[in-house]
Structure 1
Amino acid sequence: MANPVVVRAEVVGTRADGPGRRVTVRCATAAARFRPGHFAALAAPGGSVEVLRRAVPVLRADGDALDLLLPADPPPVLDLIVPLGTPYPQPDAPACALLLGEDTQAGPLPALAEQLLAAGSQVAFVLAAATAGRLYGVDAARALTADVLLLTADGSAGLPLGDDPAALVGQALAALDADLLYTAATPALSAAAVAAATARGVRSWTAVGADLPCGTGLCLGCVLPVRDADGVSRLVRACTEGPVFDGARVRWSGLGTVPADVEGAGQ
C-alpha cells in the first residue's frame, strides 16, 4: 500500500502542460512517499470530502512538492488523499524498458523513466494520441532518451497508429531487444501492447483505469477481472489493488463485464 495521507495542500504553481494543467502543491509527507504510478483522490468542489472525490494523476515529486495533472486551474487549496494505488514495479537488475503512453495518461511515465535510468536501466518511449495536439510528454521523453516514437491516429505526427498497434509495439520491442514493457494508455492500446509483449516473452506492467471515478474504492466503478497467480480470475478494484497490474493477468476482453468463469460470478 502507498500509506496515503489526507491533506489540505496549498497550490504553489500552475502552468499549461500539453492538453492539461500541471499543478504543483506543497505536501512534504506525501511527496516523500510518492512512486511513479501513484495517484491522488481530489475532493470534488461542493461535494462531501469523505465520499465525492475523483482520481487525478501524480506526475512527480520534487522535495516537499507534488505535481498533479488537472484539466483546469484549481482553487488555491486542494483537499487530497495522496499517494494512492500500487506503483510500477522496478526490475531487480538493470533492464531495457519500453514505456508506452497515450494522451495525458502518459503523465507518470517520465518520472518512471527517471527512476529506471537512475537504477542503470535503458528506456525508450512510444507516445500515442488521436492527433498531434493530444500527445503528452514528448519534450520530457526526449530529454531522457533519443529513442522516442510518436504515433497518431490521424497521422499528424510521427507514424500513423493504424489498425494494428500490436505490430508497431512488437517492432519497437524487437528493435530495442526490450526486457520490460510499461504502459499508461487506453485499454485498447494497452491490450494490444501487452499481447505483443507476451508473444515475445516480455514482462509487462500496465496502469488500468486512468479515469477512476472516486479513487478510494467506495464507488466500485473501476472493477475489472484479473487472473491471479493461482490461475483463478477474480474481480478487483483498479484503485485499490491497482492501478498497476501485471499486463498478462488482466482479462482485457472482459473489461466492463463479469466473465462467467470469474470467482463468485452468478452467486
Structure 2
Amino acid sequence: MSQAGQWTATVMARRDTGDYAVVTLSAGTDTSAARAGQFASVRVAGPDSALLLRRAMWIGEATSSGRDGGTIEVVADRGEPGGAWLAAQPQSARVDVIGPLGRPFSLPRDPTHCLLIGFGAATAALVKLSEELVARGCRVRFLLLGQAAAFGVLAARRFSSEIVDSSGRSIDPREAVLDQLDDSVEVVYSAGLAEQLRPLGQIVTEMGVAHQTAVETPLVCGSRTCTLCALPVRGRDGVTRMVRACTEGPVFRADLVRWDDLGTVPGDCLGAGEEAR
C-alpha cells in the first residue's frame, strides 16, 4: 500500500463530467501506487471561509512522472460545498492535500465474476477497481444506484459492457441488488455512504457472497484525530470496536460491519461505558 504524504498541490486541469469534476493536481509525493478504494483529504477554501473541515475525495488516476511531474486525479462532487469549491478553482490554484489514504480493495487471486455496486461520486473507486480486476482476467458487472447520478458511467464502459445504471431514480436498492445477484456472482464490491450501503451489506451477507465495501465519509481529517468517520466493526476475534473509516478503512469486509448499529456505540463494543480518563 502506498505511503501517504502531505503537500501543497497545484491545480493542473479540470474535466467536467455531469454533476462531478475530475481535478488533476500536482503530486508532491509518489502517488503512482495509489490503489482503488483509496482517497485524498483536501483542505477546501481559504482561511476566512466557513468551510472548516477537510473533504475526502476518491482518487482516480495517478502518475509518478510526466511533463509536469507526478499528478493525481480526485473526483469533486459539485453538489457538496467543498467539492463545488475545488471544482471552481482555476488552473494554477494551490490546494493542501494529504494522500493516498486508507485501506484499498483486495483483489481476487484468480479470475472471478464480480458485481460492482456504486453510489454517486463513490463509483469513482469502483471504476478504478474495475481496471485492476479486468487486468486479472475477471468479469465485471456494474450496478449504479442512488438518488444522484453516478460518476463515471462512460469510463466504466471501458472495462465492462454489463452496466445497469439505475442512479438518479427512486428505486428500491434491495430489489435492484437481488435482480443482479445471481448464482454466477462470486464477489461483490460496493462503495457509497454508510446509510446507502446498509441494505446491501445485509442482503449480500445473508446470501453468503463475499463482499468488500468502501464507506464514504465526505468530511474527514484523514489523520485519526476526529471521529466523524467512526463505525462499529466486528474484528476477526469477534470483538466489536469503533474504527475510523479514514485509517482502518475505507474498505471493510461487509459481513463484519454492524450495519444495524450505524450511528451508535453498541453496548458490547470494546471500551463502551468506560469513563474518560
Instruction: Give yes or no for TM over 0.5.
Output: yes
Structure 1 residue 52, shift from structure 2 partner: 5.0
Worse-matched range after superposition: 109-118 or 51-60: 51-60
Worse-matched range after superposition: 122-131 or 246-255: 122-131
Q: Which residue of structure 1 aligns with residue 74 of structure 2?
A: 68
Q: Which residue of structure 2 aligns with residue 253 of structure 1?
A: 260
Residue deviations 1:161-209 (CA, integer Å, cap 9, x gap): 22xx22321221206x111111112323322222222222211111113
Q: Which amino acid aligns with 2:201?
A: V
Q: Which of 193, 198, 201 in structure 2 is aligned with 1:194?
A: 201
Contact in 2 for aligned 1:103/1:129 (Cα 8 Å):
yes
Residue deviations 1:25-62 (CA, integer Å, cap 9, x gap): 122743222001111111233349xx953222212224
Instruction: Please give the TM-score of this superposition, normalised by the length of structure 2.
Output: 0.85
Q: Which amino acid aligns with 2:215?
A: V
Give aligned pairs, total. 255
Q: Which residue of structure 2 aligns with residue 158 of structure 1?
A: none
Structure 1 residue 153, shift from structure 2 partner: 5.9
- What is the SS of the residue equivalent to 1:108? helix
Residue deviations 1:51-84 (CA, integer Å, cap 9, x gap): 9532222122245321111222235122111101
Q: Which of 135, 139, 142 in structure 1 is aligned with 2:154?
A: 139
Say if 1:128 and 1:264 are closer, same or farther in 2 by CA, change over 3 A. Answer: same
Alignment of structure 1 residues 75-94 onto 2, 5 Å:
76-94=93-111
Contact in 1 for aligned 2:217/2:229 (Cα 8 Å):
no
CA distance in 2 between counterparts of 1:152 and 1:243 reads 22
**1:208 equivalent in alignment to 2:215:** yes
Q: Which residue of structure 1 aligns with residue 164 of structure 2?
A: 149
Percent of residue pairs identical: 36
Q: Which amino acid aligns with 1:169?
A: V
Q: Which residue of structure 2 aligns with residue 12 of structure 1?
A: 12
Contact in 2 for aligned 1:11/1:23 (Cα 8 Å):
yes
CA distance in 2 between counterparts of 1:30 and 1:255 reads 35
Alignment of structure 1 residues 157-196 onto 2, 5 Å:
161-162=171-172, 165-174=173-182, 177-196=184-203
Q: Which of 127, 138, 146 in structure 2 is aligned with 1:110?
A: 127
Say if 1:58 and 1:153 are closer, same or farther in 2 by CA, change over 3 A. Answer: closer
What is the aligned-residue RMSD (CA, Å)? 2.1
Q: Which residue of structure 2 aligns with residue 26 of structure 1?
A: 26
Alignment of structure 1 residues 49-68 onto 2, 5 Å:
53-63=54-64, 64-68=70-74
Contact in 2 for aligned 1:36/1:108 (Cα 8 Å):
yes
- What is the SS of the residue equivalent to 2:45? coil
Residue deviations 1:90-136 (CA, integer Å, cap 9, x gap): 112221111111111211111110000001111110011315xx232
Contact in 1 for aligned 2:11/2:94 (Cα 8 Å):
yes
Contact in 2 for aligned 1:54/1:215 (Cα 8 Å):
no
Greater helix proportion? 1
CA distance in 2 between counterparts of 1:120 and 1:152 reads 27
- What is the SS of the residue equivalent to 1:174? coil
CA distance in 1 between counterparts of 2:73 and 2:31 reads 9
CA distance in 2 between counterparts of 1:40 and 1:235 reads 22
CA distance in 2 between counterparts of 1:182 and 1:25 reads 27
Contact in 1 for aligned 2:186/2:210 (Cα 8 Å):
yes
Contact in 2 for aligned 1:27/1:65 (Cα 8 Å):
yes
CA distance in 1 between counterparts of 2:248 and 2:109 reads 22
